[in-house]
Structure 1
Amino acid sequence: MSDQERRDSLADQAAAWVPPWERPAPPEPDPDDSDAPAEHPDPDTPDTASESSADVPPSPDLGTGAPSEGRDRTKISGEGGVGDDAGQGVGGGAGAEGVPAKRGRRRAAPEPVPAPVLDDAELRGALEAILLVVDQPVSELVLAEILEQAPERVGAMLDEIAAGYTAAGHGFDLRRAAGGWRLYTRPEYATYVERFVLDGQSVRLTQAALETLAVVAYRQPVTRSRISAIRGVNCDGVLRTLVGRGLVEECGTEADSGAYLYRTTTMFLEKLGLNSVDDLPPLAPFLPDDVEELADATR
Structure 2
Amino acid sequence: MAIPSLSTYSMPSAEQFPTNKVTWAFEPEKAALLIHDMQEYFVSFYDKDSALIQTLLSKIVALKQFCEAQGIPVIYTAQPKEQNMADRALLNDMWGPGLNRSPELQKVVAELTPKSNDTVLDKWRYSAFQRSPLEHMLKELGKDQLVICGIYGHIGCLMTAVDAFMRDVKPFMVGDAIADFSLEEHEMVLKYVATRCGKVVSTAEIIGTVATQPILTKVGLLSQLLTFIDEEEDAFDPDENLIDYGLDSVHIMSLITEWRKYGIEFTFIDLADEPSLNRWWALIEAKMGA
Structure ID, larger Rg: 1
Asked which structure has the greater RCO (Cα within 8 Å, sep 6+), the reply is 2
TM-score bin, normalised by smaller chain: under 0.3
Structure with the larger helix share: 2
